[in-house]
Amino acid sequence: MRYIRPSSLEDAVGLLANASGKAAILAGGSDLLVRMKGGFIEPDVIIDIKAIDALGRIIENDDGFVIGAAVPCAVLGENTALRNAWPGVVEGARLIGSKQVQGRCTIVGNLCNASPAADSVPALVAAGARALVRGPAGSRTIAVETIPVGPGKTSLAPGEIIEAILLDKRQRHSGDAYQRFTPRTEMDIAVVSAAVNLTLNDQGVVEKARVALGAAAPTVLLVEEAADILVGSRVDDGALERLAEACSAACRPIDDKRGTVEFRKKVAGVLAKRVALTAYQRAGQK
């Protein structure tokens, strides 16, 4: 096994594209090292991207935020501007692992691990986040929800690396939120999760909405029917009940030792109601 620590993204892309055998990207390592220790994968080449300065930064510009692929989740929570603009995204990121893991894990790694129960992904999908992808053919920008295509599988082409996550500038009267259900209060995997992002008009009526569910299907679900229910409402009790029904109906979960299909569908609706109300309250404060 070879370990390589490139100092530029171009070098990393070249190494990944030209690697002989199986290659793996190391950012935080909280997923990769666990999978290696468990014997699930054995890379021939490990490419450590932490030494690439541009990938370790959070940049705020006129368009919004650029979050580098190697930025630890703990740093996201320490960025006041990001936390104020996108609290739901930060909530999802800060639920990954323990405090020690938070200093290493990244939202890009969480996304590329392609677990249906990933905590940061539903909030990113609800936020309309995009991934800036660099590869041998150049750069492209794609919606975050198009990256995972199944458990442990992504749509990235050979040699491609996610350079950064892009979040738009927060609109006026808008807010987002994320919650999950776990048997324990922390250091656990979501049995089901929900994220909502809302934009209101000056009268407090929802103009735009995005609703995402995690651990409810092989990939994160963007539930357009649920979003349509919220648009035109003030997130009243009637809208919330219809929202819960739409989210429960959209779920395609599995039965396992952590939860049944029936349980997951029920909880998805409950969580959707809670995060929609939180997002609405946050939107009204901005």
> Would 112 be classed as within a structural domain?
no
> Would 60 be classed as within a structural domain?
no
> Would 83 be classed as within a structural domain?
no
**Nearest residue to 120 via CA among 167, 161, 80:** 167
Q: What is the distance between the alpha carbons of residues 189 and 107, in angstroms, rounded to a whole number?
A: 15
* Number of domains into which the chain is organized: 1
Which residues have C-beta within 8 Å of that of residue 43, sequence separation ≥ 6?
1, 21, 22, 23, 24, 36
Burial class of residue 207, CB neighbours in 10 A (0-12, 13-18, 19+): middle
Using CA atoms, how far residue 20 sits from 34, 136, 166, 168, in Å, is 23, 16, 31, 38
Question: What is the pTM (predicted TM-score) of this model?
Answer: 0.94
Using DSSP's 3-state secondary structure scheme, residue 106 falls into strand
Are residues 166 and 69 in contact, defined by beta-carbon separation less than 8 angstroms?
no
Q: What is the distance between the alpha carbons of residues 118 and 152, in angstroms, rounded to a whole number?
A: 11
> Would 237 be classed as within a structural domain?
yes
Are residues 111 and 144 in contact, defined by beta-carbon separation less than 8 angstroms?
yes
> Would 156 be classed as within a structural domain?
no
Are residues 143 and 82 in contact, defined by beta-carbon separation less than 8 angstroms?
no
> Would 231 be classed as within a structural domain?
yes
Alpha helix (H) residue ranges in the chain: 9-18, 32-37, 73-78, 80-85, 87-93, 99-102, 107-112, 120-126, 224-230, 237-250, 261-284
> Would 90 be classed as within a structural domain?
no
**Nearest residue to 130 via CA among 66, 173, 222:** 66
pLDDT tens for each residue of the chain, 286 residues long: 999 999 999 999 999 999 988 999 999 998 899 899 999 999 999 999 999 999 999 999 999 999 999 999 999 999 999 999 999 999 999 999 888 888 999 999 999 999 999 999 999 999 999 999 999 999 999 999 999 999 999 999 989 999 999 999 999 999 999 999 998 766 678 999 999 999 999 999 999 999 999 999 999 999 999 999 999 999 999 999 999 999 999 999 988 888 899 999 999 999 999 999 999 999 998 7
Residue-number span of the structural domain to which 260 is assigned: 174-284
CATH code (residue 247): 3.30.390.50
What is the separation of C-alpha 142 from the centre of its chain, rounded to a whole number of angstroms? 14
Task: List the structure tokens of 100.
Answer: 């020690």
How would you label 122-139 residue by residue, b for 16+ Cβ within 10 Å and e otherwise? Answer: bbbbbbbbbbbbbbeeee
> Would 116 be classed as within a structural domain?
no
